[in-house]
């Protein structure tokens, strides 16, 4: 569905997405109800169908929206990083900050595997594509070893960051300890740097 032409329409659509994040982040997809989404958004139920065809449509759009929003946050945080290692640190911290604001991301993305596998794959594929391009550029500058498979490295780093967020932000509802972040940064600097 295309973006609404008016500011009011865009605001209503965003309110529905924000409400959907709250609902799908706290309730399994099968039990989530459009009536609860519209109630939390503060709009009439009929208004929902102006913006989304059904529950799956808003869920799929939410997965896309959150992925896009997170990638934007990471891009902004790393825009002027002088080197790959600084970029990794800023990116990790931005990712963890986003998770603190949106802990529902884990539940929403994990459900996407079963609700809309295409959206689920696209969520990870877009992150991998960007990460892969960045690692290849860093290899060309000599900041990351040329002996490292960039796609495998991208997947490994995404897995590390993802599980760090799960371990502390999701399971314990707290910030990742600084010593854990420093451990990962030490691994990056001394584990993947050129000889």
The more confidently predicted of residues 1 and 191 is: 191
Question: What is the pLDDT at residue 75?
Answer: 96
What is the average pLDDT value for the chain, to the nearest integer? 94
The more confidently predicted of residues 98 and 193 is: 98
pLDDT for 1 beyond 60? no
Q: Does domain 1-53 have CATH number 1.10.3720.10?
A: no
Instruction: Please write down the HEC assignment for all residues of the chain.
Output: CCCCCCHHHHHHHHHHHHHHHHHHHHCCHHHCCHHHHHHHHCCCHHHHHHHCCCHHHHHHHHHHHHHHHHHHHHHHHHCCCCCHHHHHHHHHHHHHHHHHHCCCHHHHHHHHHHHCHHHHHHHHHHHHHHHHHHHHHHHHCCCCCCCCCHHHHHHHHHHHHHHHHHHHHHHHCCCCCHHHHHHHHHHHHHHCCCC
Question: What is the pLDDT at residue 189?
Answer: 86
Question: What is the pLDDT at residue 195?
Answer: 59
Tens-place pLDDT, residues 83-106: 999 999 999 999 999 999 999 999
**If you average pLDDT over residues 14-34, what whole number do you get?**
96
Alpha-carbon torsion angle 117, 126, 33, 28, nearest 10 = 70
pLDDT for 191 beyond 80? no
- CATH 1.10.10.60 residue ranges of the chain are 1-53
- CATH 1.10.357.10 residue ranges of the chain are 56-191
Instruction: Look up the CATH number of domain 56-191.
Output: 1.10.357.10
Question: What is the pLDDT at residue 2?
Answer: 63
pLDDT for 192 beyond 70? no
Question: What is the pLDDT at residue 194?
Answer: 62
């Amino acid at each position: 569905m295309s973006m609404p032409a008016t500011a009011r329409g865009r605001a209503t659509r965003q309110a529905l997405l924000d409400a959907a994040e709250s609902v799908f982040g706290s309730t399994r997809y099968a039990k989530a109800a459009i009536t609860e989404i519209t109630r939390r958004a503060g709009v009439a139920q009929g208004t929902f169908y102006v913006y989304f065809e059904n529950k799956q449509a808003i869920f799929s759009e939410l997965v896309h929206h959150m992925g896009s929003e997170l990638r934007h946050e990471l891009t902004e945080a790393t825009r002027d990083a002088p080197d790959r290692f600084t970029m990794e640190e800023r990116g990790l911290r931005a990712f963890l900050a986003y998770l603190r604001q949106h802990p529902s991301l884990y539940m929403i993305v994990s459900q996407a595997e079963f609700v809309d596998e295409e959206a689920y794959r696209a969520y990870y594929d877009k992150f991998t594509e960007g990460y892969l391009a960045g690692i290849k550029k860093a290899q060309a500058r000599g900041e990351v070893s040329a002996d490292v498979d960039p796609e495998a490295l991208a997947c490994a780093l995404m897995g590390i960051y993802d599980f760090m967020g799960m371990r502390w932000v999701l399971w314990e509802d707290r910030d990742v300890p600084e010593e854990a972040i420093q451990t990962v940064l030490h691994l990056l600097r001394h584990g993947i740097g050129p000889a």
